[in-house]
Structure 1
C-alpha cells in the first residue's frame, strides 16, 4: 500500500471517529440534561415491589444477583431502578439525577417514606439507596445488560468504520497504482501500455485521467513511430545522392577525360542534398515551433496572386495552365515567407501532377472569419486510404512512400504544418472526374467582403 492509501485511509477513519465522538458527546450532554431535569420519584405498589425485589437481591447476592434479576424480569419492560452508593454513583455506572437522589435521601431521613425508596446494607458492608426516578428518560440503558450492549455497539461501529475506510481508500488508490505502473512502463519504452482495461467501468475523474493517459500514450506511440519512419526515410533519401556522388568521384579519378561531366554531376547531386537538408530543417523548425520569422500584417489575396504568377511561368514551359479565382479581401497577421512556402508547395505539387495540356484551378473565397483556398489538379488523384498520408513526410502524392517520382515528399508536409502554425487546417479530397483537390483554411484577424477581385 502506498502513501496515498494511508493518507486517505487515516483521513476517512479519523473523520468517522471524530464524528462518532462528537455525536456521542452531544447525545451524552442531551441525556445528562434530561437526567438532571428529573426531580420526582416513582411511587405506588409496582414501584415498591420492584424496589423491594432489587433490595433483596442486592442484600443477598450483590450486584451480580441484581443483574440476573433484571435480565430475567418477566412481563413488561423493567423501569429504571437506580442503586446509588454513598458517593452518589450507581453501581452500574448509569446516570443519576442529582435532584431526584437528594429527594430520595430526604424521604429516607423523614418520618414518612415513599413506597418506592429503600436504603439497603449490601453484603460488602456498603450502604445503598434504591429508588426509581419518574419518568424514566428514554434512550438510557435500563439494565446493565443493555449497558454492555452499548459498549459492544461502539466496538462494532469502530470496526465497521475501520473496514469502510480501508475499502474506500483501496477503491480510490487502486487506479492510481495502475497509472503509476503504466507510467513506469511507458518510461521504459513500452509505448503500447494502456490503463483503461485495468480501471474497468469507473465513471469518475480517475477514469477520465486514465482515458487521458491512454490518449497521451497513443499519441506518443504515433509520434515515436513517425520519428522512426522519418529517420528511415531520411537515410533512404540521402543514400541515393551520396551513392551517385561516390560513383561520380570514382569515374572522375579513373577517366580524367570525363572529369568535367562528373563535376557537373557532383554539383547537381550536391544541390539536391542542399535542397533536401533545407526542407528537413524547415520541417524540423515547424514541428518544434521555433520559427523565428516575425509576424506581419498580410494581404492574403495579393500573396496568393504572386505565388500563382510564378507557378504560371513554370507551368507554361510544360504546356500546363494555372487559373485563379479570388472573391473578397482578407487580412491576416502571420509569417509571410512561411505562408508563401505553403501556397507554393501546394500549387507546384498540383502543377507537377496535373496531366499535360490541362490546368490547375486555384480559387480563394472569404467565408465566416476564414480565408479558404482550394487547389484542384487534373491528375491521377490518390487512393482514399492515402488522402491523409500524403501530408506525412516522404510520402509522394501517389501514396507511395519514398517512391520514384520527383521531389522528396516534404512539400505537403511543410504546407500543412505552416498552415497549422497559423491556426488553420489543410485537407485533401479526390476531384470528381479525376484529380486531387487540396483545401487550405486560414482564420482571419479581420476581413471585408467589399468588392471582388477579377477572375483570371
Structure 2
C-alpha cells in the first residue's frame, strides 16, 4: 500500500499563501480584462456619438448658409474631414474624441437617403443615426455611424490578442514572484517554529539543558521565552529530584544501618538486651519516624493537600501559645525566649498550620543556637499586613548559605549530627505554609549575631 503523503507545516503554509496569491491574481486579471473591454467600448461609443452630433450640427449650419442646398458638399466632400479636424484641434475636455485607430466609419446622407460622403458600401441599418435639422426643424439629412460593436469585432481582434498575451505574461511573472516571496516568507515565519520543534524533541528525550534562540518579541518570541523558562524549571526540578532522592537514601541508610548492627549484635550475643540497648533502638526508630513524618508533611504541602481551614485569628495569642510550649526546653539550655508582640494582631489564616510554622521556627532556633543564648520574637504592623521576625544568637549562617536554608535536607554544617540538626525539612515545610497564606519568608543576619527569619503576612 502506498503511504499517504504527509505535508509538513512549511509545505502547508506555502500552499496556503501561494493559493491565495494565485486566486487574487486570477480574479484581478479577469476583473481588469472585463473592465478594460467594457469601459473602452463605452468610451468609443460616447466619442463617436459626440462626433456625429457635432458633425450634424455643423452640416446643418453650412446647409442653411448655402441656400438650403447640398451642392457645396457634393462638390467638396473633403469639407467634412476638415470639420472633424477642427473639432480635434479644439476638443471638449469633458468629452474627448477616441484615438484615430478606434473611430468608426460614418456616412452623410441627404433628405433622399443618398450618400454624399462616406464609403461606397451601404450605410448600416443598425448604426447610430443623428438628424441634420435646420432652424425651422426640418430634417434635411442624416449622419450615420457604423456600430461600435462591429468595430471591436473586426479591428480589435489583434489588439485583444496582444492584450491577452501581455496580461498572461504578467500573470506568469507575478506567479513566479509570488512563489519566491511565499517561499521566503514561509521559511522566515517557520524558522522559530522549527527551532521550537527541535528543542521540544530534545526536551522530550530528557535533555533539559536544551534552549532555543529568542529572535523576536512577537507571540513566537514569547513562546520561545516560555519554552526556555519551562526547560529551566524542568532542569532545576530534575536536579532537585536527584538530590532529593540521594538525600532521602542517605538519611534513611544511617539509622537503618545502626538498627541492623545493634539487632545483629543482640542476635549474636555480642551485646546483651538491656534497657540502655532498648533506648538506643527506640531513638533510631524515633529518628526514622520523624524523618518519615516530615517527608509526609512536605509532600502534602508541596501538593497543596494540607487542609487549610482559614478564619480570623490573633497572631499575637498564637505566638504566645507556641512560645509557652518551649519555655521549659529553653530554660533547660539556659536560653532566654523574648516576645515583643502587640496586644492584638488580626490575621486571616489557618491557626493549626500557623502554629506548626511557629513551632518549627522556634525549634530551629533551639537546635542551632548555642547554650546560654536567646531567641527574640518580634511582631510589628507593616504597610500591608504583619511583619514577624525570629532573631537568635550565634552561631549564624554564612552569606552564601542564607538562600539555601529553605532547601530540603540542607544543613549549614555537613558534620552536624542528626540529633541536633533534625531532618533538614523543617524550613522547607515552613516556606510552603507561608506561601499557602500568600506571604513571604526570607533569611538574613540577625543583629544578635545569629540568624534572622523574617515572615511577611499580607493584610
TM-score, shorter chain, exceeding 0.5: yes
Q: Given that residues 395 and 402 in structure 1 are in contact (C-alpha distance below 8 angstroms), is that contact kept between their aligned partners in structure 2?
A: no
How far apart in 2 are the matches of 1:400 and 1:266?
24
**What do the CA deviations read for 1:206-258 (whole angstroms, capped 9, x no partner)?**
01101110101101111111111011011111111111111221222214634
TM-score by length of 1: 0.72
Q: Given that residues 251 and 258 in structure 1 are in contact (C-alpha distance below 8 angstroms), is that contact kept between their aligned partners in structure 2?
A: no
The structure with the largest alpha-carbon Rg is: 2
SS at match of 1:190: coil
Tell whether 2:297 aligns with 1:282: yes
Aligned mate of 1:226, from 227, 240, 249: 240
Tell whether 2:131 aligns with 1:111: no
How far apart in 2 are the matches of 1:402 and 1:222?
27
Q: Tell me what 2:250 maps to.
A: 236
Q: Which segment drifts farther, 311-320 or 384-393?
A: 311-320
Pairing 1:320-399 to 2, within 5 Å after superposition: 320-327=335-342, 329-396=344-411, 398=412
Structure 2, unpaired ranges of 5+: 1-5, 52-79, 86-97, 124-147, 153-157
Aligned mate of 2:262, from 248, 251, 261: 248
Q: Tell me what 2:70 maps to.
A: none
**What do the CA deviations read for 1:151-204 (whole angstroms, capped 9, x no partner)?**
3221111111122222222222222222122112211211111112xx5x3232
**What do the CA deviations read for 1:276-328 (whole angstroms, capped 9, x no partner)?**
10001101111122223433433222212211222333211101111111237
Q: Given that residues 296 and 333 in structure 1 are in contact (C-alpha distance below 8 angstroms), is that contact kept between their aligned partners in structure 2?
A: yes
**What do the CA deviations read for 1:42-90 (whole angstroms, capped 9, x no partner)?**
9969x99xxxxxxxxxxxxxxxxxxxxxxxxxxxxx95735xxxxxxxx
* Structure 1 residue 368 displacement after superposition: 2.8
Q: Tell me what 1:441 maps to.
A: 456
Q: Which segment drifts farther, 155-164 or 14-23?
A: 14-23
Aligned mate of 1:23, from 4, 22, 28: 28
Shift in CA distance, 34/409, structure 1 to aligned 2, threshold 3 Å: same
SS at match of 1:391: coil
How far apart in 2 are the matches of 1:344 and 1:300?
13
SS at match of 2:421: coil
Q: Tell me what 2:183 maps to.
A: 166
Shift in CA distance, 113/148, structure 1 to aligned 2, threshold 3 Å: farther
How far apart in 2 are the matches of 1:111 and 1:295?
112
Aligned mate of 1:36, from 42, 45, 55: 42
SS at match of 1:373: strand
Shift in CA distance, 424/234, structure 1 to aligned 2, threshold 3 Å: same
Tell whether 2:197 aligns with 1:191: no
Q: Tell me what 1:4 maps to.
A: 9
Q: Tell me what 2:173 maps to.
A: 156
Shift in CA distance, 323/44, structure 1 to aligned 2, threshold 3 Å: farther
Q: Tell me what 2:92 maps to.
A: none
Say which structure, 1 or 2, has more relative contact order (CA 8 Å, 6+ apart): 1
SS at match of 1:222: helix
SS at match of 2:341: strand
Pairing 1:59-98 to 2, within 5 Å after superposition: 81=101
Number of paired residues?
A: 375
SS at match of 1:375: strand
**What do the CA deviations read for 1:383-415 (whole angstroms, capped 9, x no partner)?**
21111111001112x264986652111111111
* Structure 1 residue 329 displacement after superposition: 4.0
Shift in CA distance, 259/399, structure 1 to aligned 2, threshold 3 Å: closer
Q: Given that residues 375 and 438 in structure 1 are in contact (C-alpha distance below 8 angstroms), is that contact kept between their aligned partners in structure 2?
A: yes
How far apart in 1 are the matches of 2:209 and 2:435?
28
Q: Given that residues 107 and 116 in structure 2 are in contact (C-alpha distance below 8 angstroms), is that contact kept between their aligned partners in structure 1?
A: no
Q: Tell me what 1:217 maps to.
A: 231
* Structure 1 residue 334 displacement after superposition: 3.2
TM-score by length of 2: 0.72
